[in-house]
Amino acid sequence: MLENYIKYLVFITNKLKVFFERQKEYICCKKGCSLCCRNAEFPYSKMEVKFLLSGFLLLDKETQAKIEENLQKTADKKKEFKGDVFLYDCPFLIGGSCSVYDYRGVVCRTFGLMENVKDKNSRVPFCAYKGLNYSQVLDEDKNQLSEEKFKESGFKEEPLSFNIGYKFLTSEDFEKKFNFEFGEKLPLIDWFMDMEGKKYE
Ligand code: SF4
Ligand code: SF4
């Protein structure tokens, strides 16, 4: 099953590479920018967590210990949280970088692109509002892309949105095509709520 999931990951990662390459004029992502790994929910399926943990097990003991500490602290905060949606910094973010980059989940691979949302305006990544991706063509007051700004930008490629929603990318169609199951989907931290004596094998 994990082998087939890896085949699926190679497939979508190659697709996403093409999308990023096409939109490179709008993409400001660089090492050290980790806003997209902070203050969010991070949906993860059982299969994605399994793969993520296979990457975790390859890390040195010191990094593993830091991640475990982050997981414990985040889980404790969630237990005390009284609101609707618990947002947190990803516990696998170490020193401003993803410690399990090659093993990261599906949602992490889409960070930074513009999502095509059915019957609505395209969803620009949140970092457009922080002067990053697509900010060059965003009209913040109208909360939409600006044709005028696009013309002024002198960019060759139009800003494009893609079908990169988590629901779509983890749909049954992909499970059938690659012959595996994602399994249950939860916010990443929910997989680690009971850290006592946890073993990752
Ligand atoms: S797994 Fe890595 S890429 Fe994904 S949110 Fe966490 S730190 Fe960021
Ligand atoms: S998607 Fe946005 S927040 Fe994330 S690394 Fe790229 S520019 Fe930074």
Question: What is the whole-number distance in angstroms between the Cα of residue 196 and the centre of ligand 2?
Answer: 34
- The pLDDT score that the predictor gives to residue 151 is 95
Sites in the chain below the pLDDT cut of 50: none
Question: What is the whole-number distance in angstroms between the Cα of residue 90 and the centre of ligand 1?
Answer: 6
Is-above-0.95 flag for pTM?
A: no
From 100, 191, 192, the mutation candidate for ligand 1 (largest count of ligand atoms within 8 A of CB) is: 100
From 37, 111, 138, 164, the mutation candidate for ligand 2 (largest count of ligand atoms within 8 A of CB) is: 111
Convert the pLDDT of each residue in 149-177 to its tens digit.
999 999 999 999 999 999 999 999 999 99
- The pLDDT score that the predictor gives to residue 122 is 81
- The pLDDT score that the predictor gives to residue 196 is 63
Question: What is the whole-number distance in angstroms between the Cα of residue 104 and the centre of ligand 1?
Answer: 6
- The pLDDT score that the predictor gives to residue 198 is 56
- The pLDDT score that the predictor gives to residue 121 is 76
* Alpha carbons 104 and 179: distance in angstroms, whole number: 20
- The pLDDT score that the predictor gives to residue 135 is 96
Kindly list the domain boundaries of the chain, sorted by start residue.
Answer: 2-191
- The pLDDT score that the predictor gives to residue 194 is 79
